[in-house]
């Protein structure tokens, strides 16, 4: 079993869920998260898929500082971009197919498309029935 963790743009969530449903993997956990990558929180990275190509070069946005930065004195304001974090546990043999599907839906070729992490899972137990491992994740 593997855990697939994907950080994606907010606006790509419905399309990603549909793609996973089509593959037969609708069991997942979704969280709202804030973070930043190499773009250091530049808001244009998040808005690229929602705005015309020329928007980020013609308009200077003033990103909103994080709540932490507003409440504390920091030498440099930390800026974070809102994203969605998806987590699903799947059998080893479907990892590649699911990762390819997530990439296909979320790749725009621009900064902020997201990241996917794949980690091993040692075991799983369904609390209600006591089923273990593969039976617990189906």
CATH number at residue 10: 3.30.70.120
The structural domain count of the chain equals 1
Q: Which residues contact 60 (CB under 8 A, 6 or more apart)?
A: none
Q: Render each residue's pLDDT in the chain as its tens digit; 138 residues.
A: 999 999 999 999 999 999 999 999 999 999 999 888 776 655 544 444 444 555 455 444 445 555 555 666 655 555 788 999 999 999 999 999 999 999 999 999 988 899 999 999 999 999 999 999 989 988
- Domain region containing 86: 2-137
Placement of tokens 């969280």 in the chain: 31
Nearest in space to 6 (alpha carbons), one of 111, 83, 101, 87: 87
pTM, full prediction: 0.74
């Amino acid at each position: 079993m593997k855990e697939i963790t994907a950080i994606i743009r907010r606006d790509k969530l419905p399309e990603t869920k549909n793609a996973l449903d089509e593959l037969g993997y609708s069991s997942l956990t979704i969280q709202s998260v804030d973070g930043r990558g190499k773009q250091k929180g530049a808001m244009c990275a998040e808005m690229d898929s929602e705005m015309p190509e020329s928007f980020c070069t013609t308009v200077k946005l003033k990103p909103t500082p994080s709540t932490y930065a507003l409440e504390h004195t920091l030498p440099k304001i930390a800026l974070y971009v809102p994203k969605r974090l998806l987590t699903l546990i799947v059998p080893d043999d479907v990892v590649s197919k699911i990762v390819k599907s997530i990439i296909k839906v979320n790749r725009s070729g621009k900064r902020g498309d997201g990241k996917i992490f794949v980690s091993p899972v040692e075991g799983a137990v369904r609390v209600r029935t006591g089923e273990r491992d593969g039976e617990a994740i189906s």
